[in-house]
């Protein structure tokens, strides 16, 4: 009997779409274009997770919908296939990471196809394909060849960088050294996580609390030569560019905070005796604020120049280049010990607010430029070398960190801002016993006393500027991007280092010529670490490592790029996936970019989006793409949590423990401190809700925690899409993921919910197909006559809601409307073909397999993928008659069907004439009649 059977229907339609290349994209749009993009997955060995199809179904609905609206749609998929797990697998098994990666990609492909997504499979890209790597490397060379011109606010070819007069243009090495200070890709020494025990460099995510994730061995920070990308040059552009984008405000704020623009002033303090101070000041007045301060100067960055009079000490970061110069002979040993210890601390550790402040006195003093006061210079690790100028003026009365430090080291606290009168601690602040970081009125500040904080900030900055002692400055939290990894499974850098006859590097660098790209990875015999902090590719033999070019010998760069690289530009490759002669054909690029809708997880809200925007802006500046921002509209899908479980955890003495406090110990469950725990899975029937929380029915004192968790292997709550498809079908999985709630909400999985949408699809099938017949045939209720007025209204309302809901990505409400439609038409003895066909088209973006099948059963020969999307008729939405309740003294006595536009008087007249009403009011007098046209009539009778 012809029951709805996804196991039969779904593979058949998938094969049809594939054979007919139903979703092949035109090279260039022929109609209005829509580029609908998913964040491509890392093809892990675990396969697809139910979190993936959430965003993928959402974009698939939009893509299918847009095609039916006659738009040209680009909806591609690919793989972000470099990554740590494949390399770890290779270290363990000796199998080349490429082999495992390819296996995983084909498994992901199978799963994606099983879900019926309408991707153009001819455009699949993988970041590991040599044809792809080639252009990733090429873009790196564009970055290497670009400098950011702060005047024109754009990237320009390095050949256009003006070389200052002080550099002899014939001195190649000097010119190159100068250029290196400007290139967007440059080398520097940066710390890596080095683990002695494992003999390898670890990625940040492999280090937990200073120990290796694998094995728990200590990890040290070691300086290593690395590549950086000068993303900071684009900070302002990245900030400005956010404004016009159609992105969630939350994501924009995250990006803004990450870039972290801060405005204040740079101020110079004189290092030396009070006698020299006046001369120094006079010199400054003449020369103005210098670009490079002299050895007798310490430059600070402050957001509060108004507090200068309250600066009672200064701090330089332990890594600050001035530390040796500032350190006096008797302080030398203590300073060295302090700086050595600081090198082991992570930045997070150093900046934690509540942590005890540490520091050491350098032995030197500075002179405060505004009042000539002599203040001690300290070295402390709460100041970062890489932010601002790496040195601060400390104002303990108005900065919490400085206040803690001053207390600890007995440094005076001088208040210079009087808090507002209603401030609770005002007196303590004035007495130097509390810190106040807000705005107020200047005190103890010479001629500035009595003026507001904002006012003094501006006035002090202006005065410093006129005396050549300071200037307004802007800083960003954003740091340059540490762009190299010491890994095997990544893109090699297309850079050559010249070597002399002894194999020593001369310092001259050279890009790999275009025709020699891509630089492929070397063949290695095994992937085990070589036990040195240098990159893995140092294991390669000379055949790969050493290159001869134009009679010179070079050693290849052995760092590899981070996984972020490939995902910075994949959306461009989809547009022109096979191009070997250009990054992208400019005409195709112009025709398809920017991406109209980009959907992906919120975990990429900051870095991926920032990095790819940065690359895109550079490509734009250099004329390789036509738009400055790649992603016009962005949506983050919410996380799908594990099935809401009710589990009770108790320690042996019966104490109830919250699930997050429980972990699996050597032989059973323990609390974090090792106390054994008994876990009892509780059936929902055993539980009642009481007051705030949940308790056991038979033991009201036993609290039960009911909550949903992130899906994870260790919790055993991971839902496998293969299993869901096998048990319910792909259409049910797609529909359920869209029905769970708003796309952006976090929501728990429920298998019962999947069963629920499966029931809906079954009912939709039975609305059209006669399930009791021996073979496929339409239900007897299906008629060729048109809809009656009410049916037409239901139909057109559904068309309108589903259309509008898809445009606004409110898929859950669209599905609810379709459910109402099925409920209504299942009750109809006559189901007009017109309504059934239209419904199938509306359902098709959500449940494409079932829809194609029904479409065919309804007698259509071709796929519905390009059928015109149904239009609603406004006229059909208007109700021509309405049913009006007629009340006597507030109680409904009967109902009256009248024309929807009936007048007040007519309505009252007809109501009073009704026999039922006549009998109720017989013998009474009518005090008044309330008529609300279209709503009700109420007769007040006594
Ligand atoms: C004096 C002062 C007085 C400050 C006051 C604050 C409050 P943003 O840019 O908002 O993060 N600072 C500057 N460079 C630093 C560094 N490298 N490491 C640690 N701290 C640094 O904050 C800038 C403020 O942070 C600066 O303003 C400086 O302290 C500190 F009542 O200068 B302020």
392 lines ligand 1 (CB under 6 A): yes
**pLDDT for position 473:** 96
What residues are paired with 337 via a beta bridge? Answer: none
- Quick check: 738 pLDDT over 60? yes
pLDDT of residue 641: 85
Per-residue model confidence as pLDDT tens digits over 257-274: 999 999 999 999 999 988
Domains, the chain, with CATH or none: 31-125+564-637 (3.40.50.620), 263-476 (3.90.740.10), 645-707 (no CATH), 721-864 (1.10.730.10), 879-941 (3.10.20.590)
Residue 345: per-residue pLDDT: 79
Whole-number Å distance, alpha carbon 333 to ligand 1 midpoint, is 28
Is the CB–ligand 1 distance for residue 937 below 6 Å? no
Ligand 1: which atom is nearest the Cα of residue 351?
A: 19
What is the rounded average pLDDT of the residues 722-726? 96
Per-residue model confidence as pLDDT tens digits over 148-186: 999 999 999 999 999 999 999 999 899 999 999 999 999
Q: Is the pLDDT of residue 685 over 70?
A: no
The answer to whether the CB of 444 falls within 8 A of the CB of 309 is: yes
The Cα–Cα gap between 617 and 628 comes to: 5
Round the CA-based radius of gyration of the chain to a whole number and report it.
36
> Average pLDDT in the 840-867 region?
97
pLDDT for residue 614: 98
810 lines ligand 1 (CB under 6 A): no
Residue 545 pLDDT exceeds 60: yes
Of the pLDDT bands very low, low, confident and very high (cuts 50, 70, 90), residue 660 is: low
Q: Is 384 in the pocket of ligand 1 (CB under 6 A)?
A: yes
Q: How many CB atoms lie within 10 A of CB 313?
A: 24
Percent of the chain with pLDDT over 70: 94
How confident is the model at residue 903, as a pLDDT?
Answer: 87
Reply yes or no on whether the pLDDT at 624 is more than 60: yes
Cα dist from 499 to 493, 496, 537, 557, 626, whole Å: 17, 9, 17, 12, 40
The pLDDT score that the predictor gives to residue 751 is: 85
Find all residues with CB under 8 Å of 845, minimum gap 6, and list them.
60, 61, 62, 64, 65, 68, 806
What pLDDT score was predicted for residue 663?
67
Give the tens place of pLDDT for each residue, 67-125.
999 999 999 999 999 988 888 889 889 999 999 999 999 999 999 999 999 999 999 99
Q: Ligand 1, atom 31: nearest CA belongs to which residue?
A: 398
The whole-number pLDDT of residue 667 equals: 60
| Atom 22 of ligand 1: nearest residue by CA position | 303
Q: Ligand 1: which residue has its CA nearest to atom 25?
A: 302
- At 691, the pLDDT band (50, 70, 90 cuts) reads low
Lowest mean pLDDT among 237-246, 307-316, 520-529: 520-529
Rounded to an integer, the average pLDDT of 707-714 is 71
Q: What are 769-773's contacts with CB under 8 Å, separation 24+?
A: 769/2, 769/4, 769/854, 769/857, 770/2, 771/1, 771/2, 771/3, 772/1, 773/1, 773/2
The whole-number average pLDDT for the span 547-566 is: 95
What is the structure's pLDDT at 552? 95
For ligand 1, the distance from its centroid to the CA atom of residue 399, given in whole angstroms, is 8
- Asked if 123 and 577 touch (Cβ cutoff 8 Å), the reply is yes
Is 565:227 a contact under the CB 8 Å cutoff? no
Mutate to test the pocket of ligand 1, among 319, 357, 387, 415 (most ligand atoms within 8 A of CB): 387
Which pair of tokens denotes residue 178? 């100068």
Lowest mean pLDDT among 238-242, 536-540, 604-608: 604-608
Q: What pLDDT was estimated at residue 2?
A: 82
pLDDT tens digits for 892-931?
Answer: 999 998 888 888 999 999 999 999 999 999 989 999 999 9
Q: Is the CB of 403 under 6 A from ligand 1?
A: no
Mean pLDDT of 765-774: 94
The pLDDT value given to residue 686: 63
Q: Which atom of ligand 1 is nearest to the CA of 437?
A: 31
Q: Look at residue 108 in the predicted model and tell me its pLDDT.
A: 97
Q: Is 304 close to ligand 1, i.e. is its CB under 6 Å away?
A: yes
**Closest protein CA for atom 27 of ligand 1:** 302
Centre of ligand 1 to C-alpha 243, Å, is: 27
pTM of structure:
0.84
CB 612 near ligand 1, within 6 Å: no
pLDDT tens per residue, range 359-387: 999 999 999 999 999 999 999 999 999 89
Cβ burial, residue 59 (10 Å; 0-12/13-18/19+): buried
| Distance in Å, CA 306 to ligand 1 centroid | 13
Q: Considering only CA atoms, which of 415, 422, 425, 352 is closest in space to residue 384? A: 352
Q: Whose CA is nearest to atom 1 of ligand 1?
A: 302
């Amino acid at each position: 009997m012809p029951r709805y059977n996804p196991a039969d229907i779904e593979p058949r339609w998938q094969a049809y779409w594939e054979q007919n290349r139903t979703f092949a994209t035109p090279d260039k749009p022929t109609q209005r274009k829509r580029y609908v993009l998913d964040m491509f997955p890392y093809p892990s060995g675990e396969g697809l997770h139910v979190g993936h199809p959430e965003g993928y179904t959402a974009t698939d609905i939009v893509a299918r919908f847009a095609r039916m609206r006659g738009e040209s749609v680009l909806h591609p998929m690919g793989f972000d296939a470099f990554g740590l797990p494949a390399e770890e697998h290779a270290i363990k098994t000796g199998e080349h990471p490429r082999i495992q990666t390819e296996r995983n990609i084909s498994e992901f492909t199978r799963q994606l196809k099983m879900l019926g997504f309408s991707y153009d499979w001819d455009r699949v890209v993988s970041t590991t394909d040599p044809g792809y790597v080639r252009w990733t490397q090429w873009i790196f060379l564009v970055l290497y060849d670009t400098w950011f011109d702060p005047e024109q606010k754009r990237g320009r070819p390095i050949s256009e960088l003006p070389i200052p007069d002080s550099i002899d243009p014939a001195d190649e090495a000097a010119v190159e050294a100068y250029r290196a200070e400007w290139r967007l890709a440059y080398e520097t020494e940066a710390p890596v996580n080095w683990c002695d025990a494992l003999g390898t460099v670890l990625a940040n995510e492999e280090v937990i609390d200073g120990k290796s994730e694998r094995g728990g061995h200590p990890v040290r920070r070691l300086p290593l030569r690395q590549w950086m990308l000068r993303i900071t040059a684009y900070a302002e552009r990245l900030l400005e560019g956010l404004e016009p984008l159609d992105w969630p405000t939350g994501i924009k704020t995250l990006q803004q905070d990450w870039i972290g623009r801060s405005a204040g002033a740079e101020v110079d303090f004189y290092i030396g005796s009070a006698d020299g101070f006046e001369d120094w000041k006079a010199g400054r007045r003449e020369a103005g604020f210098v670009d490079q301060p002299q050895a007798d100067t310490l430059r600070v960055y402050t957001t509060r120049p108004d507090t200068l009079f309250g600066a009672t000490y200064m701090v330089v970061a332990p890594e600050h280049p001035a530390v040796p110069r500032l350190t006096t002979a008797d302080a030398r040993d203590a300073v060295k010990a302090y700086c050595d210890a600081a090198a082991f601390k992570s930045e997070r550790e150093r900046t934690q607010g509540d942590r005890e402040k540490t520091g050491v006195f350098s032995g030197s003093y500075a002179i405060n430029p505004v009042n000539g006061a002599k203040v001690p210079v300290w070295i402390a690790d709460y100041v970062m070398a890489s932010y601002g100028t790496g040195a601060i003026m400390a104002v303990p009365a108005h900065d919490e960190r400085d206040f803690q430090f001053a207390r600890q080291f007995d440094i005076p606290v001088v208040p210079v801002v009087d808090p507002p009168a209603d401030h609770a601690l005002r007196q303590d602040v004035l007495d130097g016993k509390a810190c106040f970081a807000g705005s107020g009125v200047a005190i103890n500040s010479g001629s500035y006393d009595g003026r507001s904080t904002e006012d003094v900030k501006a006035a002090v900055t202006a005065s410093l500027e006129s005396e050549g002692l300071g200037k307004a400055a802007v800083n960003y939290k954003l740091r340059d991007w540490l762009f190299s990894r010491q890994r095997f499974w990544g893109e090699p850098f297309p850079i050559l280092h010249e070597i002399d006859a002894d194999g020593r590097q001369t310092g001259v660098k050279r890009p790999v010529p275009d025709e020699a790209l891509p630089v492929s990875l070397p063949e290695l015999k095994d992937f085990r670490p070589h036990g040195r902090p240098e990159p893995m590719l140092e294991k390669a033999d000379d055949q790969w490592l050493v290159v001869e070019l134009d009679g010179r010998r070079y050693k290849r760069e052995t760092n590899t790029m981070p996984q972020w690289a490939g995902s910075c530009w994949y959306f461009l490759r989809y547009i022109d996936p096979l191009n070997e002669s250009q990054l992208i054909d400019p005409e195709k690029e112009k025709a398809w970019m920017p991406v109209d809708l980009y959907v992906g997880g919120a975990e990429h809200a900051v870095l991926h989006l920032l990095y790819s925007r940065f690359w895109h802006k550079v490509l734009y500046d250099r004329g390789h793409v036509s738009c400055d921002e790649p992603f016009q509209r962005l949506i983050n899908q919410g996380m799908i949590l594990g099935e809401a479980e009710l589990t009770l955890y108790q320690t042996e003495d019966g104490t109830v423990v919250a699930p997050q406090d429980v972990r699996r110990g050597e032989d059973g469950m323990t609390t974090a401190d090792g106390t054994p725990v008994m876990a009892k899975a509780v059936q929902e029937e055993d539980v009642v809700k009481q007051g705030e929380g949940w308790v056991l029915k038979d033991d009201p004192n036993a609290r039960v925690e009911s909550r949903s968790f992130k899906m994870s292997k260790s919790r055993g709550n991971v839902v496998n899409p293969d299993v869901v498809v096998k048990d319910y079908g792909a259409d049910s999985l797609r529909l359920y993921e869209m029905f769970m709630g708003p796309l952006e909400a976090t929501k728990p999985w429920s298998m019962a919910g999947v069963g629920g949408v499966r029931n809906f699809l079954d009912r939709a099938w039975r609305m059209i197909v006669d399930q009791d017949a021996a073979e496929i045939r339409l239900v007897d209720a299906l008629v060729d006559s048109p809809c009656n007025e009410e049916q037409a209204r239901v139909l057109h309302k559904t068309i309108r809601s589903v259309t509008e809901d898809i445009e606004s990505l409110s898929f859950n409400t669209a599905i609810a409307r379709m459910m109402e439609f099925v409920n209504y038409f299942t009750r109809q003895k006559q189901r007009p073909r017109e309504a059934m066909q239209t419904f199938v088209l509306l359902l098709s973006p959500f449940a494409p397999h079932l829809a194609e099948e029904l479409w065919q059963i309804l007698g259509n020969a071709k796929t519905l993928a390009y059928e015109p999307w149904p239009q609603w008729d406004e006229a059909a939405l208007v109700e021509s008659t309405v049913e009006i309740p007629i009340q006597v003294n507030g109680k409904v006595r009967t109902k009256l069907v009248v024309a929807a536009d009936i007048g007040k008087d007519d309505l009252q007249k007809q109501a009073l004439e009704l026999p039922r009403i006549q009998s109720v009011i017989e013998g009474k007098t009518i005090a008044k009649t309330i008529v609300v046209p279209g709503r009700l009539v109420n007769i007040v009778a006594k």
